[in-house]
Amino acid sequence: MESSVGRGLDVLSALAHRTATGLRRTSVTDLAREMGRERSRLSRTVGAMAVEGFVLREESQRSPALHWRLYAAAQELTAHRLRTDGLTALEGMVAETGESCYLGVLVGDSTVTIAERIPAGSNQVGSWVGRPYPAYCSDCGQALLTDAGEDEVAAVFAHTEFVRHGPNTPADLSDFLSRLSVTRERGYSIVDEEAEPGLYSMAAPVRDFRDEVVAAVQVVGPRIRLAPKTDVCVAAALRWSRWLENALHGAPAS
């Protein structure tokens, strides 16, 4: 016999799926039909979950929805795991590439490093953690905006001046969007002397439990050294970005 906990988890999963697909409101009748459950029994389950604060009941008790506290808790867990499991991913990337590796997020029109791992013998001075960098000339910026529509990207850079930082810095929003389309097609970004002269880097997006891009893993170094081993660095970034996504989704590490 199915337990009450199991029934509750099934309801949460069904509500989360409907929310993820854009169905913000639903009825118990719709939910029962979708789950193949008896309506009155499902209604009692939803009612008990509302009392415990797992779901909200809207529209005169007819429309259940996930409680905002669940999203807050999930996002807090995501932020924690990005900083813990993220370091494990970066250590794996450094071991495979021998290069400096970073984990970045988008803040306004900048990317900010939240974790880094530097190989032994690196001549890096200081840390990049907490330091912002213009997203329009960053491999991380392209990766983080992979799933954003053109209007969303335009909004991010609405008040941004495209200052030249390297010989290949995007000249304007149109130029950035053109490069972003290439990143979308291949699933990762490569930035060749866009951020500064002689700098070469690549990044892969990391998606959370909502399938939204929340971070990007990066491999960064001198062009003369990194460009010849692009395939190795890209493979490592993609492999460890998937590993980190599985960690954020709560899946067993593999």
Domains and CATH numbers, the chain: 4-66 (1.10.10.10), 74-248 (3.30.450.40)
Average pLDDT over residues 24-50: 71
Which candidate, 111, 85, 116, places its Cα nearest to that of 101? 116
Which candidate, 215, 244, 248, places its Cα nearest to that of 145? 215
For the chain, what percentages of helix, strand and coil (3-state, to nearest 5) are there? 50, 20, 30
E strand or H helix that includes residue 222: strand 213-222
Higher pLDDT, 11 or 101: 101
Q: So what's the pLDDT on residue 5?
A: 47
Q: What is the pTM of this model?
A: 0.71
Distance CA 247, CA 44 (A): 33
**63-67-68 Cα angle (round to 5):** 125
Name 192's Cβ contacts closer than 8 Å, sequence gap at least 6.
168, 200, 223, 227
Instruction: Give the least confident one: 17-26, 42-51, 115-124, 199-208.
Output: 17-26
Average pLDDT over residues 149-174: 96
pLDDT one-digit tens code per residue, 176-198: 999 999 999 999 999 999 999 99
Distance CA 229, CA 93 (A): 13
